[in-house]
Structure 1
Amino acid sequence: MKLKTTLAAVLAATAIAAAAQAEGLRLGTEGAYPPFNYIEADGSIVGFDVEIGLELCKRIGEECTIVAQDWDGIIPGLLANKYDFIIASMFITEERKKQVDFTDPYYLAAMTHVVPKGSHITDFSNETLAGKVIGAQSGTTQADFIESAYPDADIRLYPTQDEVNLDMASGRIDLQVGDMLPMLDWVSKSDDGSCCELAGEPITDPAFVGEGVGIAVRQEDNELREKLNAALAAMREDGSYKAINDKYFDIDVYTMK
């Protein structure tokens, strides 16, 4: 009986391992951060992050499925094995490196202020913005920045960037801080974003924008991290990264030039 039980356990474990291998890797992203990751009308998740992630999967010989996860739970989801890596425009910061490891950056980034057109807001000191309503997405480095830079403002944090944009377009907040590339896309290409414009100098403080934007993996998954790094370097070398980049942006976001 003991032999049969042991054999059954081995067969079950083998079946589970085989099923996991057949499933391939799971790519975690937010699905609410255009043009990097967003959900189409048919329910598919698309965007720059997703295309880069799927191309990386091909190059490391994996079939990948996409898992959508709200931003506030995206790192806990990785640690709970809900997916195998995160590609969701996540800044590489020292605080996040306490929980996860990152690949090399797959693009650079800066943050920016966004103000209503005609607002004449040009001074972004705490003194000038005291009492102003300033918005950002919760759980982001943008949220960290406004809470640090504007202690005398009325800070409003939102679950998604779309909700920040909606309140901005509706006049319920005076200004917001967001990632520069999505904000540029929003004000220049969307109807509701036509209300607003980028203002001030780009925010590039390493304390908030970190070392660039990376792919997060669990700290024990060093082999996966190295495979992704090698595949990313190959994409840069053979032009496939540029082909994806040019579908979404007028500049090379890897170098911001």
Structure 2
Amino acid sequence: MRATAFCIALFACVLCLTTFTGCARRDVLVIGMDATYPPFEFKDPQGKVSGISVAIGDEIGKTLGKTVEYRNMGFDGLIPALQSGQIDLIISSLTASPERRKSIDFSDPYVKTGLSILVAKDSSVKSSEDLRAPGRKLAVRLATTGEQWCRTELPNAQKISLDTDAACVLEVVNGTVDAWVYDQVSVMNYHAQHPSRTRALLAPLREESWAVGVKQGREDLKTKVNETIARMKKEGVFAKLADQYLAKERDLMKAQGLPFVFE
């Protein structure tokens, strides 16, 4: 009898603890990102994740009335983490590509950009067509749409697969590859860091949109994310974020007659 009573009490305690934990978790929105992509997601000098993506996540947290927890992880691990329930959303400069839509859902877009080319200074590459010449060597970052484009459009080019932006940039800077295909903002930033060793070809190879990644079936959450993005546009929040983080890039794109990412 005592053993039975003890088991019942123990079960009740576990149930209460589980219920409490579940409630606590329901009050927290867990957002995954790869914080190696300034100014959208990066670590500040104190080691805290920061940037435009964090500002978006904080606004979504306000809409939901939840505390936001950010989990920094490798880019290629974000979608599996979302699918398995380890995170609730992905906000990590994630292109809403047809291939990714097979495994996850996306919010309305908040950035419109395009794939462009970071070229070694002494490379003969002047346009995307030059990438099709025999013997071209390209750096590609794993699990990105730039890699997918290169493998589809440039099947005969030699490709060096790398898992960080820094490694791809280094290959271009050292002249060991002709080019790296990546998004416009990154290409502008990395060219600015290495103006004497690189060139930026910003005309888009393909237009893309970035959106918040949502687990399939979470229509309720996706609706709230879309409400937040619409509110941020209406209230001019993205314009303020551009002033804070992307003023130089905005001016450069407009000077070249290219639409800015938040337009």
TM interval, short-chain normalised: 0.7 to 0.9
Equivalent residues in 2 for 1:14-163, closer than 5 Å: 14-22=19-27, 24-125=28-129, 128-163=132-167
- In 2 relative to 1, CA 40–173 (structure 1 residues): closer, same or farther, beyond 3 Å? farther
Aligned to 2:231: 234
Residue 254 (structure 1) aligns with: 262
Query: CA contact under 8 A between 1:187 and 1:196: conserved in structure 2?
Result: yes
Q: Which has the larger radius of gyration?
A: 2
Structure 1 ranges of 4+ moved more than 6 A = none
Matched-pair identity in %? 24
Report the secondary structure of 1:81's partner residue.
coil
Structure 1: state its 5+ residue gaps.
none
Question: Is the alpha carbon distance of 1:127 and 1:141 closer, same or farther for their aligned partners in structure 2, counting shifts above 3 Å?
Answer: closer
**Contact (CA 8 Å) 2:40, 2:52: kept in 1 or not?**
yes
The verdict on how the C-alpha distance between 1:215 and 1:194 changes in structure 2, with shifts beyond 3 A counting, is farther
After TM superposition, the structure 1 stretch with the greater mean CA deviation from structure 2, 238-247 or 50-59, is 50-59
Q: Which TM-score applies when normalising by structure 2?
A: 0.86
Structure 2 residue 221 is matched with structure 1 residue 216 = no
**1:197 aligned to 196, 199, 212, which one?**
199
Native 8 Å contact 1:245 1:253 kept in 2:
no
Computed over aligned residues only, the root mean square deviation of the Cα atoms, in angstroms, reads: 2.0
* Amino acid aligned to 1:14: T
Whole-angstrom CA distance in 1 between matches of 2:155 and 2:145: 16
Bigger mean CA offset, 85-94 vs 118-127? 118-127
Question: Structure 1 residue 88: deviation in Å?
Answer: 0.6
- Pairwise CA distance, 1:151: 1.6
Instruction: List gaps (5 residues or longer) in structure 2.
Output: 251-259
Q: How many residues align?
A: 247
Q: Distance in 2 between matches of 1:123 and 1:6?
A: 67
Q: Could you say what secondary structure the match of 2:113 adopts?
A: coil
C-alpha distance after superposition, 1:134-167 (max 9, x if no partner): 0121111100111112122111111111211122
What is the distance in 2 between the residues matched to 1:228 and 1:176? 32
Secondary structure of the 2:111 match is coil
